[in-house]
Structure 1
């Protein structure tokens, strides 16, 4: 194993310190307990948005803290949910009197710990709502979930709900927008290699040089099937078919197409995958209205990618286009 680290036990703390040093004026880092918060929080009268989860998926979630997106992010240890204490501290830090929305990926530890933090915040008269993101169509249950996993669609929930909060929507409205995105977004991923968790020092699972795992989770959870390596277009077809059938998406729909790298996949390969996915959608009479391509929800150095499709309407398109300024996503400001 070769990794650019100093000590496996201090990876998260040192990485978060680096985020703070790289983006002064945009965000601040608290270390005891650890969380990342936008520099101007709390914004009085604005709904606060908090998300978080295990580290190793960067830029999710800390890279999405800032204007038009998250107010705070709570990093856990690598691939491990943060505990309730830092989630509560982040919730307190962004409370501007209009309530706080927790955006939670559907993993058992995340759900339970955010739920506990929400209960503790409610005892302090902070109104908290939660939206559980479960966009992964690959499997119904996994090693870490009851129900579908929350994966790359989380970025779209955070961006669109963040825009609604930034324009002044109340807690009910922001929650409804987040739920609307979650109801209309579907994802699936594929792994070519396994990630290596720093403190473990070995790959998270064994996969042959000529094999791929279709439907993998962002922590390396098993997917639908393990098959011999195929050309990129064939892999895209295997992933996109179940996505389009699940909602379902149909002729006349307008969508946002998001091709996400898992950390070790070159951008040139992501564009090859995007090209064919866009061709398939267009061939079905589905208009690709908005796009996102890059490494946004990673799995350390895993080679692989995911495809996410969000059905758009005028409201969701307007909120997606709204200005955003974070470390990892920024436009219009």
Structure 2
């Protein structure tokens, strides 16, 4: 294992020190491992909190800032944050209008966020609503989940819902929008290599040089099947067609098309994949209203990619275009 770390046991704490120093607009509660906004508070604004295991950067801490999250809880690598972290985050962002938790569908995350919501309500009286993302079409149940995994839609949801919260929408409206985004998006990924968790010191799974894992999870969980290595054009077919079949998307629909790298794939290759994805969408008569290409929800050093398609009406496109200023996404601000 070759990693730029000091000690596997302190890698998350050390990274949070670097995040705080690199982005002066952010603050870090190091005791609770919570990244939160350092700009002026806005009484009456709905607070947005998310989080999960570390190793998926820039998700979630890299999406804290204007137009996205107000706080993010950083668990240990591939490990859910604990309720105490989530309660601390809730208190940090509560400005009197309630708090929305954005939770990826992993058993530990869902359980701990639910517990934190109940405890925060009991302690402070703040109203907390949770919305769970479950957009992965690869498998119905997988390691760490009951039901589908929450993956790429989480990024798009945090951006769109973040814009709505900045507009001043109330908690019920923001939560309903989050459910709409989750319901209108689907994702599928594949891995060319495994990843190496620092504390483990070895790859999470073994895969042959001439193989790829179709439908892999962001923690290295098994997917649909192990298949022979393929061209970018064939990969795009394997990723896009199950997504289109699941919702389904129809001719004339507009989408936000998101090609995401899992951490170890060069941007050069992601652009090749995006071209092939776009060609398939063109063949189906599906227009691309907006696009996003890059490493946004990663799996440490895993080589691979995922495709997320979100049906986007005028409201969602407008919220997507709204100003955002975070370490991971920035435009219009």
- Shorter-normalised TM-score: what interval? over 0.9
Q: Which deviates further from its counterpart, 42-51 or 292-301?
A: 42-51
Determine the C-alpha separation between the residues in 1 that align with 2:4 and 2:178. 36
Determine the C-alpha separation between the residues in 2 that align with 1:289 and 1:297. 21
Long gaps (5+) in structure 1: none
Residues 138-161 of structure 1 show CA distances to partners (whole Å, capped at 9, x for unaligned) of 000001100000011100110000
Determine the C-alpha separation between the residues in 1 that align with 2:167 and 2:26. 20
CA RMSD of superposed structures (Å): 0.6
Q: Is the Cα–Cα contact under 8 Å of residues 214 and 225 in structure 1 kept in the other structure? A: yes
Residues 2-31 of structure 1 show CA distances to partners (whole Å, capped at 9, x for unaligned) of 00000000000010110000000x210011
Determine the C-alpha separation between the residues in 1 that align with 2:22 and 2:33. 17
Determine the C-alpha separation between the residues in 2 that align with 1:44 and 1:34. 24
Instruction: Trace 1:131-170 onto structure 2 (pairs within 5 A).
Output: 131-170=131-170
Q: Is the Cα–Cα contact under 8 Å of residues 47 and 96 in structure 1 kept in the other structure? A: yes
Residues 68-97 of structure 1 show CA distances to partners (whole Å, capped at 9, x for unaligned) of 000000000000000000110000000000
Long gaps (5+) in structure 2: none
1:43, distance to aligned residue in structure 2 (A):
2.5
Report the 3-state secondary structure (helix = DSSP H, G, I; strand = E; otherwise coil) of the residue aligned with 2:59.
coil
1:307, distance to aligned residue in structure 2 (A):
0.2
Q: Which deviates further from its counterpart, 84-93 or 41-50?
A: 41-50
TM-score scaled by length of structure 1: 0.99
TM-score scaled by length of structure 2: 0.99
Q: Is the Cα–Cα contact under 8 Å of residues 42 and 95 in structure 1 kept in the other structure? A: no
Partner of 1:183: 183
Instruction: Work out the number of aligned pairs and report it.
Output: 332
Partner of 1:291: 291
1:41, distance to aligned residue in structure 2 (A):
6.0
Partner of 1:312: 312
Residues 99-150 of structure 1 show CA distances to partners (whole Å, capped at 9, x for unaligned) of 0000000000000000010001111201000000001000000011000000
Partner of 2:269: 269
Partner of 1:98: 97
Partner of 1:203: 203
Determine the C-alpha separation between the residues in 1 that align with 2:41 and 2:99. 11
Partner of 1:63: 62
Residues 278-326 of structure 1 show CA distances to partners (whole Å, capped at 9, x for unaligned) of 0110111100110000000000000000000000001101000000000
1:42, distance to aligned residue in structure 2 (A):
4.1
1:44, distance to aligned residue in structure 2 (A):
1.0
Q: Is the Cα–Cα contact under 8 Å of residues 159 and 320 in structure 1 kept in the other structure? A: yes
Answering whether residue 70 of structure 2 is matched by residue 76 of structure 1, we say no
Determine the C-alpha separation between the residues in 1 that align with 2:129 and 2:165. 13
1:223, distance to aligned residue in structure 2 (A):
0.2
Report the 3-state secondary structure (helix = DSSP H, G, I; strand = E; otherwise coil) of the residue aligned with 1:190.
strand
Partner of 1:88: 87
User: Deviation above 6 Å: which 4+ runs of structure 1?
Assistant: none
Q: Is the Cα–Cα contact under 8 Å of residues 66 and 326 in structure 1 kept in the other structure? A: yes
Determine the C-alpha separation between the residues in 2 that align with 1:209 and 1:183. 36
Partner of 1:108: 107
Report the 3-state secondary structure (helix = DSSP H, G, I; strand = E; otherwise coil) of the residue aligned with 1:203.
coil
Determine the C-alpha separation between the residues in 2 that align with 1:277 and 1:155. 19
Partner of 1:230: 230
Determine the C-alpha separation between the residues in 2 that align with 1:54 and 1:30. 16
Q: Is the Cα–Cα contact under 8 Å of residues 41 and 93 in structure 1 kept in the other structure? A: no
Residues 28-50 of structure 1 show CA distances to partners (whole Å, capped at 9, x for unaligned) of 00111110000026431100000
